[in-house]
Amino acid sequence: MGTGTGGDDSLYPIAVLIDELRNEDVQLRLNSIKKLSTIALALGVERTRTELLPFLTDTIYDEDEVLLALAEQLGSFTVLVGGPEFVHCLLPPLESLATVEETVVRDKAVESLRKISQEHSPVDLEVHFVPLVKRLASGDWFTSRTSACGLFGVCYPRVSSTVKAEIRQHFRTLCSDDTPMVRRAASSKLGEFAKVLELDYVKSDIIPLFTALASDEQDSVRLLAVEAGVSIAALLPQEDLEDLVMPTLRQAAEDKSWRVRYMVADKFSELQKAVGPEITKNDLVPAFQNLLKDCEAEVRTAAANKVKGEVLPEDSRETIIMTHILPCVKELVSDTNQHVKSALASVIMGLSTILGKDNTVEHLLPLFLVQLKDEYPEVRLNIISNLDCVNEVIGIRQLSQSLLPAIVELAEDAKWRVRLAIIEYMPLLAGQLGVEFFDEKLNSLCMAWLIDHVYAIREAATCNLMKLVEKFGAEWAQNTIVPKVLGMANDSNYLHRMTTLFCINALSEVCGQEITTKHMLPVVLKMSTDQVANVRFNVARCLQKIGPVLDSSALQAEVKPVLEKLATDQDMDVKYFALEAISGMYLFNLPTYIFSETFSFSSILFFFFSFSLSP
Amino acid sequence: VQGPRGGVGGGNDFQWCFSQVKGAIDEDVAEADIISTVEFNCSGELLATGDKGGRVVIFQREQESKNRLLSRGEYNVYSTFQSHEPEFDYLKSLEIEEKINKIRWLPQQNAAHFLLSANDKTIKLWKISERDKRAEGYNLKDEDGRLRDQFRITTLRVPVLMPMDLMVEASPRRIFANAHTYHINSISVNSDYETYLSADDLRINLWHLEITDRSFNIVDIKPANMEELTEVITAAECHPHQCNVFVYSSSKGTIRLCDMRAAALCDRHSKFFEEPEDPSSRSFFSEIISSISDVKFSHSGRYMMTRDYLSVKVWDLNMENRPVETYQVHEYLRSKLCSLYENDCIFDKFECCWNGSDSAIMTGSYNNFFRMFDRNTRRDITLEASRENSKPRAMLKPRKVCTGGKRKKDEISVDSLDFNKKILHTAWHPKENVIAVAATNNLYIFQDKIN
C-alpha cells in the first residue's frame, strides 16, 4: 500500500532507525546502534563506507553504553563495508573509540580492532592497521597509549621484519612511559606480546622490559609484572629460567609492597606450572613458606588458599607438604585474622586426600578440630561445607564427636544468615553421618528451624526436610518427621500452622501418594476452616500443589467440596486462590470471565504484602 | 631550585599586580555565593571554584593575543554547573549541605577534563568536554521540523555533522556515595592515576576511580567508645610521586605518614611528625591553635607544609621531630585568642599552597589579607585582596599590621582588622606566578609583573 507515489514503505523502518541514532532518549539511541547492521545493509556497502562510518566516527560524545554497543558492533562489520578489501574503513571510528576515557569502551574498541585485524590482508595490515597502532602509541593522551598496548600482539606475527622492529621499539617506549596508566597497560600485555615474539627477541627485548617493570617505582605496575612473569617463564627453555626470570620473581615474592606479594601468592599455582618441578621444589616452596607467614593478612589469605599445591610434582608432593607446608598450616590455624583462618578452612580438608589416612588422622584431624571450635562461624562453616573430602579418606565418624557441638552452635547462632548457611549443609551431613546418628542428634535441630522466627530460616528448613526425605526415604519420613509436621497444624501461632502447609507442599511429592492421601490431606482439609485468612488461602494453594499427587477419587470426593467452599469465602484472597486452584486442577470448566476483573491485581499485591509482613 | 620568577614579590625581582576580580560587588553577600574551594588544574589553564551553593565554576585562561600587548591571558568563565544539591538523611534526621568542600582535578587523559568535587558526604566525578559539531538531517522530519509523509520516503539520509558554536558540557560520570559517616574534609588523587583517597573526621577511604560501589577503609581512628575520642583527622593528601605514601594531619597538631605497601590497613603509621610543645607558651588555647587545618606536599615530594592557626610549617619528610621552617602568619593575634574563641574565628580552617617551584608559599589571614613567604630569602609579604586597587595591572601595595607601639602611616592596628573578611582558600598556578585568592564571594586573580 502507498507505493503509488513512488515511495518505498520498506524504507520507513530503516528511516526510523537512522533518525533514532540521534534521539534524545538514550534507550532509543542504544536500540538503533544495536541494529546498526540493519541500517548498513539497507544503505549498501558504498554508502555505509562514505556516509555512515564518517558520521559514527564523530559520535564519540555519546553515553558510555551507546559507545560500548557501537564499539562492539563495529567488530563484526567487515561484510557490511564490502568485505576484507575494505575492512580498513572501520579503523577511524574504532580509533576514536579507543581514546575515550571510559575503560570499558576503550577495551571493547581494542577487542574489535583485534578482531578485524585478522581480516586485514598482510599488505593492508602494514598500510592501514600498523599506522593506526603507531598513532595510538604516540598519542598525546595516555588513554590512546594504553589502548595501543593491546594491539601490538595481533599485528606483530603478520608483518615484515622491518615493521616488527618498529613495533618492538614502540612497545619498549610504552613500557617506560611517564604515566603509570600506560606502564600498567604495557605490563599487563607484556606476557601476551612475548608469546608472539621470536624466542631470541623474548630474551633480548622482553626480559629487560620485564625486569624494569618488575622494579618499577609504583607497586601498581610491579604487581602486574608478576603475571607477565608467569607467561614469560612458560615460553623460555628450562635452562634459561634461572638466569632470566627467577631473580625477578624471587624479588617479587619479597617485595616491600604487600600488594605485589599478594599477587605472587595469588598466582602461585600458575607460577609453579610455568617454572616446572625442579625450580618449584628448590625455590618456590621456601618462598611459599614465607608467604604463609607474611606479616600482612591479605597475603596470608591468598597463600592459604593455595596450600593444597595442586601442581606440585606428583612424586614429591606428599613429602613437600608434610615437611614444608604443614608446619606453616599448623600456625595458620590459630592465626589472628579471621579471613586467613576462613580461607584455610575452605581448603585444609582437601589436604587429606593428598596425605592419606594415617597422616590425616595424626596431623590434620587435630587441626580440623581446632577449626571446628573457632570463634568465627565462617571458619566452622567452611570446615563443615568441605566434610566430603575428609569423608572419603577417614570417614566422618572420626569427627562426629566434635562436629556435633559445632553444628549445634551454628544452628543456634544469633545471626540468621549463619543459621541459613548451616541448614544448607544438613542434607550433606545427613548423608555422611547416616540415618541413626541423624535421628539421634540432628533431627530435633531440623524441626526447631521450622519454628524459627525468621521466615527465610523456616523456608530453608522446609526445603531441607524435602532433601532429607529424598535421602532417607518415605518410610523414614512417615515415622519421624511427618507426625511432627502435622502436629504443628494445631499450634496456636498461625505462622506455625502455615509452616505445616508449606512443609506439605514440599513433602507431598517425595513422600508419595499413600502418605499424602492418608496422612497429610486430612490435616490440610481440616485447616480449611482456620480462622486466619492467610492460613485458608494457603490451604487452597496447598491443595493445588498436592493435587497432582492425589488420585482423582480423592480429588473429586474430598478436595473439590473444600475448594468450592473456599471459593465462596468472605476473604477476597481466599476466594482468589481457591478459584485459581480449581482452574489449575481442571476440576471444573469454569467460565473464564470469573478471572477477568473480579480479582484485580491489587489482591495479588496484597497477598505478597501480607506475606512480607509476617515476621 | 628557585627559578628566575620565583619568590614572593615585593622586592626587586617582581611585583604582584591586580588582574581580575570575579563575583558580585554588592555589600550584601548571599550565603550560597561564598567560595568554599579554589583549585588550578595540572596545566594551570583551568581554574575551578566551588561555593556554598553547591556550584562549580570553571574559568579558562584566554590564549595570549599578540595585539593586546600587555594582556597576559585572563581567566574567563568556561563552564558553570550545579555539582551538589542539598539533601536530607532521613535515617539520621540530618541535613546534608550542598557546600563544595574540595575540588581536585584529575591528570588530563584525553581532550576532556575531569574533576572530583565533594560535599560533606558524597564525591562526584565530573567530565567537562567541548562539542563543536552537530548532526543534521532527518529522514522523517524536514529542515523545519515538520513531519514528512512516511510514504514519500524515497531515499535514506544519513545525518551529516556540521560545525557549530563551541558548547561546553559538564556531565556527572560517577558518584561515590555512602562511605562517609562524618564530614569529608579532604580528597586527593593518587599518583597512580587510578585511585584517590577521601578523608572525614575519623576515617580515610581509598577509592578506585572507576568503582563507585565500594571503597577500602585504610585508616580508622574511631575509638570503640566515642567518649574516649581525643583527636580527629583534619586533612589528608597523597604523595605527588610515590603512590604508596599518604599523610594525614590531626587536631592535635601532629602529622602521620603511612605507607600502603606495609599493610592493607594503615592504622599504624610509618612516620609521625610532631614538634615538641614549648611549655612556656602553654595556654588554654594551645591545643585549639595547634590543630592543623591543611597539609600539602611540595611538588618535589620532599617536603610538606602544614597550616595551624597562627603559623605555617614546612617539614622535611626525613625529619620527624621538628619542622625545617616555621613562618608566623599573624602572630599579633596571639593576644586576641580569647575574643577569637568567643566569635568562633579560632576554628577557621585556613588552607595553604606552594608555588610551582616550591620556593614560596601562600596562605590566608583576616581583613582580606593574605601572606606569602619566600623560602630562600625568608622574606615575607602581606597583601590585600581588595576592590580598592582593582585597576588593571595596578601594583599591590604591601600591607602592615601595627603590633603595639605607635601606629605608623599605612599601618593598620590589630583592633581594626575585620575578622569577617577572611581568606581561607588560595591557589597558585602550577607553573607561573598567577594566584587565585577567594575572599568571601569574590575571586581575585593576581599576576606578577617583572620590573
Which residues on chain B are in Cβ contact (under 8 Å) with A297?
Answer: 264
**B96/A contact by beta carbon, under 8 A:** no
Chain B residue with minimum CA distance to A42? B156
Q: Average of pLDDT values for B140-159? A: 77
- Do B139 and B80 form a contact (C-beta atoms < 8 A)? no
Interchain pair A55, B161: CB under 8 A: yes
Orientation angle between helical segments A36-47 and A11-20, nearest 10 degrees: 100
**A213/B contact by beta carbon, under 8 A:** no
Position with higher pLDDT, A263 vs A4: A263
**H-only helix segments in A295-363:** 297-304, 317-320, 326-332, 338-348, 351-359
- What's the pLDDT at A560? 85
Interchain pair A8, B153: CB under 8 A: yes
| pLDDT-based confidence at residue B305 (cuts at 50, 70, 90) | very high
Interchain pair B263, A296: CB under 8 A: yes
- DSSP letter at A396 equals T
Which residues on chain A are in Cβ contact (under 8 Å) with B154?
Answer: 6-8, 11
What domains appear along chain A, each with residue ranges and CATH number? 483-590 (1.25.10.10)
Which residues on chain A are in Cβ contact (under 8 Å) with B133?
Answer: 58
pTM attached to this predicted model = 0.81
Question: At residue A201, does pLDDT exceed 90?
Answer: yes
**pLDDT tens digits for A68-87?**
999 999 999 999 999 999 99
Rounded to whole angstroms, the Cα distance separating B204 from B189 reads 13
- What's the pLDDT at A383? 85
Residue by residue, DSSP assigns A446-467 as HHHHTT-SSHHHHHHHHHHHHH
**A435/B contact by beta carbon, under 8 A:** no
Q: What is the CA radius of gyration of chain B?
A: 24
Chains A–B, number of C-beta pairs less than 8 Å apart: 120
ipTM computed for the complex: 0.84
**pLDDT tens digits for B225-269?**
999 999 999 999 999 999 999 999 999 999 999 999 999 899 899
Instruction: Tell me which of B42, B43, B106, B109 to substitute to probe the interface with A (most A C-beta atoms closer than 10 Å).
Output: B109
User: What integer best gives the mean pLDDT of chain B?
Assistant: 90
Q: Is A506 exposed, middle or buried (0-12, 13-18, 19+ CB in 10 A)?
A: buried
Rounded to whole angstroms, the Cα distance separating B150 from B141 reads 10
What are residue B195's DSSP bridge partners? B208
| pLDDT-based confidence at residue B98 (cuts at 50, 70, 90) | very high
- Do A504 and A550 form a contact (C-beta atoms < 8 A)? no
What are residue B255's DSSP bridge partners? B249, B273
Instruction: Tell me which of B150, B195, B211, B260 to substitute to probe the interface with A (most A C-beta atoms closer than 10 Å).
Output: B150
Task: Please state, as a whole number, how many other Cβ atoms lie within 10 Å of the Cβ of residue A418.
Answer: 19
**pLDDT tens digits for A224-265?**
999 999 999 999 999 999 899 999 999 999 999 999 999 999
How close is the nearest chain B Cα to the Cα of A137, in Å? 14
Chain A residue with minimum CA distance to B129? A61
Helix (H, G, I), strand (E, B) or coil at B255: strand
CA distances from A509 to A446, A462, A469 (A): 20, 13, 10
- What's the pLDDT at A314? 77
- Do B393 and B18 form a contact (C-beta atoms < 8 A)? yes
How close is the nearest chain B Cα to the Cα of A474, in Å? 48
- What's the pLDDT at B72? 65
Which residues on chain B are in Cβ contact (under 8 Å) with A258?
Answer: 261-264
Chain B residue with minimum CA distance to A12? B150
Q: What is the CA radius of gyration of chain A?
A: 34
Q: Average of pLDDT values for A384-393? A: 79
How close is the nearest chain A Cα to the Cα of B321, in Å? 25
When mean pLDDT is compared across A211-225, A298-312, A388-402, B377-391, the lowest value belongs to A388-402
Percent pLDDT > 70 in chain A is: 93
Q: Which chain A residues in 41-70 lie under 8 Å from chain B, judged by CB atoms?
A: 42-43, 47, 51-52, 54-55, 58, 61
Strands B411-413 and B400-402: parallel
Orientation angle between helical segments A180-196 and A142-149, nearest 10 degrees: 20
CA distances from B346 to B185, B285, B330, B366 (A): 18, 9, 12, 11
**B153/A contact by beta carbon, under 8 A:** yes
Interchain pair A103, B210: CB under 8 A: yes
Q: Which chain B residues in 106-135 lie under 8 Å from chain A, judged by CB atoms?
A: 107-112, 114, 127, 129, 131, 133, 135
- What's the pLDDT at B10? 52
Which residues on chain B are in Cβ contact (under 8 Å) with A9?
Answer: 150-151, 153
- What's the pLDDT at B151? 64
**pLDDT tens digits for B373-409?**
999 999 999 999 998 877 777 888 899 998 777 777 7
Rounded to whole angstroms, the Cα distance separating A561 from A174 reads 81
Rounded to whole angstroms, the Cα distance separating B171 from B152 reads 39
- Do B114 and B103 form a contact (C-beta atoms < 8 A)? no
**pLDDT tens digits for B181-230?**
999 999 999 999 999 999 999 999 999 999 999 999 999 999 999 999 99
CA distances from B116 to B103, B210, B426, B431 (A): 6, 12, 18, 22
**A144/B contact by beta carbon, under 8 A:** yes
| pLDDT-based confidence at residue A503 (cuts at 50, 70, 90) | very high
In the structure grid, which three cell numbers stand for residue B363, read together? 596562605
In the structure grid, which three cell numbers stand for residue B355, read together? 608555588
Tallying the residues shown for chain B, one arrives at 451
Convert B133-148 to b/e letters by CB count within 10 Å (16 or more is b): eebebbbbeeeeeeee
**pLDDT tens digits for A337-374?**
999 999 999 999 888 888 888 888 889 888 988 888 88
Residues in contact with A348: Cβ distance below 8 Å, sequence separation at least 6, in sequence order: A307, A329, A333, A364, A367, A368, A371, A383, A386
Which residues on chain B are in Cβ contact (under 8 Å) with A295?
Answer: 263
Q: Which residue has the cell 585485524?
A: A117
**A142/B contact by beta carbon, under 8 A:** yes
